[in-house]
A = this chain, B = another copy of it.
Amino acid sequence: MTRLEGTTAPASQTLSRGIRILEVLADARGPLSIDEIAARLEVHRSVAYRLLRTLEDHGLVERDAAGRIELGARLAALAAGVAHDLQAEALPELTAVAGDLGVTCFLAVLDHEECVTLSSVEPRHAVNPVAQRPGTRHPITRGAPGKAILSLLPTSSWPSGVSPELAAEVTDAATRGFATSHDEVIPSLRAVAVPLVVRGRGPAAIAVVFVASAHSDEEIAARLTRSASAIREALGG
């Protein structure tokens, strides 16, 4: 097979296909047969078979009772290593905020043009536990944490298609020091987020989501800012 993109950038075809298997499996949200995987990758079955064997050897995929393929638990162990020090320092703070304010509190980081939740802590009787599971992704242009991160970036690296309203909102967030969202990602949910910059690490944010809160946005933001400072100082940045 001829490399498709082979103009300037050398890349490993085999590795890329292996990773695409993981992406396809994550996208499918359920087990897939080898043939289905091969069809989605547009490769021969024997190729998919050999790649899957290798992935299975490393625990990145597993087989269910029917012999079909699904993502392996080892991936969770790998993901725990993402921004390890940041997660370790943030988790106690997330827990404290969730407890103090009675809301879901989470840590999100920038990934290309998306905002990915790394850690999340729910208060007792969370309103929507599934909403902010680790791994949740949203475009950086939607939601409080995305806008908080956007307020850290120079406009030159903003994604294309940012509306004037959003731009105004982000500059507003930059001056206030926090971003909010209302009915933006999940209906009837509100969120408050503050940016978090740690030395040598990409832009991040800590945020809370809730249906209703006894506190004002400013009070919540002040609490989050305190935690963000604590995390930043713990990591020496």
A: residues with CB less than 8 A from B are: 9-12, 14-20, 22-23, 25-27, 29-30, 50-51, 53-55, 57-60, 62, 64-66, 70-85, 87-88, 91-92, 95-96, 98-99, 109-112, 116-119, 121-126, 129-130, 133-137, 199-202
Partner of A135, one of B19, B81, B83, B116: B81
Q: How many angstroms from the CA of A58 to the CA of B24 in the assembled complex?
A: 13
Say whether A12 contacts B10, CB under 8 Å.
Answer: no
A-B contacts, 22 of them at CB < 8 A, read A12-B14, A12-B50, A12-B53, A12-B54, A15-B51, A19-B55, A26-B77, A26-B81, A29-B81, A59-B112, A70-B83, A73-B116, A74-B111, A74-B116, A75-B78, A75-B82, A76-B79, A76-B134, A80-B135, A92-B130, A95-B125, A98-B124
Say whether A26 contacts B71, CB under 8 Å.
Answer: no
Q: How many copies does the complex hold?
A: 2
Say whether A58 contacts B19, CB under 8 Å.
Answer: yes
Say whether B125 contacts A99, CB under 8 Å.
Answer: yes
Q: Which 5 pairs between the two chains have the least Cβ-Cβ distance?
A: A80-B135, A99-B124, A26-B81, A79-B79, A73-B111
- Cβ contacts under 8 Å, A88 to chain B: 130, 133
- Taking the closest CB of chain B, its distance from the CB of A114, in whole angstroms, is 8
- Cβ contacts under 8 Å, A65 to chain B: 199-201
Say whether B71 contacts A11, CB under 8 Å.
Answer: no
- Taking the closest CB of chain B, its distance from the CB of A144, in whole angstroms, is 18
- Cβ contacts under 8 Å, A50 to chain B: 10-12
- Cβ contacts under 8 Å, A23 to chain B: 58, 78
